[in-house]
Amino acid sequence: MCKRRVVVTGVGPITPIGTGKETFWENLIAGKSGIGTITQFDATDFNVRIAAEVKDFDFTAYGDKKEGKRMDRVTQFAVAASKIALEDSKLDLEKINPVRCGVCVGTGIGGIHTFLEQSLKYGDKGPGKISPFFIPMEIPNMPAGQIGIAYGFKGPNTAIVTACATGTNCIGDAFRTIQYGDADVMLAGGTEAAISPIAVAGFANMKALSTNNEHPEEASCPFDKKRDGFVMGEGAGVLVLEELEHAKARGAHIYAELVGYGLNCDAYHITAPDPSGEMAALCFEAALKDAGMKPEELDYINAHGTSTHLNDLGETIAIKKVFGEHAYKMAISSNKSMIGHLLGAAGGVEAIASVLTIESGVIPPTINYRDPDTEENLDLDYVPNVARKAEVRSALSNNLGFGGHNACIIFKKYED
């Protein structure tokens, strides 16, 4: 069987540095930080008081107010990002076959705002006061389900949950859904809205988060020697993936072609990556094999780059294992230095950044990179602090999740 070609025809980012392609991209290449003091709840008594929040989000700009009240913030983000992506794609919903259009959008944590709110209500007032909408607002498949309902997409509809690898796994699975003929169009990516007291406390108590409360804009510093943990972020990233001939037939704008997907598991630890980088390296190799590419043909890596000690070190080791001397010739950067770690949404937003890098010929920087970690040989080209003009014909977007989940996808400049 000849696998069908898959292209990106629309992007929908909702991020701490902006909503929509233009604002997001402008701020990303300008090196603007979206990290600040938490405003969604009173974090005075927390040892972590910073996060990367989406500002001024109003769901009524994207959907019905009544329906929005029946969605957790995580689902609102997903539905809104899908609307942005569809509008960007200029896909005419009146002219498509809805049975050939599907959704694969996941979340790492789900409707935790609703979960906390209803749990407190249960403790205070008992079971009779729990909302009948509690379950459909909280379960992690509902962002994908609500997208299908909102836009009438009746094809494959799934929601993968692989922690911080969620968005990338969703895009990869949607890619294969189109490749093997089960759909012509897929909305794919991730969403997350977990900046809540219980989630921040949980991550903070496992010592995963940065405690640089005094200088929040500098707190996320991937690959830098002073990194002390990641910064929680929120948002969504949804892409319109389309079978090539379907896209060409309607004269769609093509951002890039999706050509490779790799996934596996460290099988090592519930939160820590395998320090050998062995399985992350094999994940890169699987994506390259799927794309029919040699390591030296890759131009750029949009790194997972969380600003945690173990991730940044392990990811660098894995890159060196696969790319050898070419690792020193590639550009590598982390969007998380600006937008924080969007958890299940990270892969979706970073995939959007990757295709915009290919289209624009500008590589986003890793900001806050000032003190190289020479002791542990973090000595690759992490595009420090300032965006760089460069021809990028291929880009790998990489995400690694709690539980040892590894996922990566490769985009290439589209050639007919």
Give the residue numbers marked as catalytic.
164, 304, 341
Nearest to 102, CA basis, from 240, 9, 262, 254: 240
Other Cβ atoms closer than 10 A to 207: 12
CA 230/CA 247 separation, integer angstroms: 38
Nearest to 49, CA basis, from 257, 194, 216, 168: 216
CA 146/CA 152 separation, integer angstroms: 10
CA 101/CA 42 separation, integer angstroms: 42
Q: How far is CA 377 from the centre of its chain?
A: 27
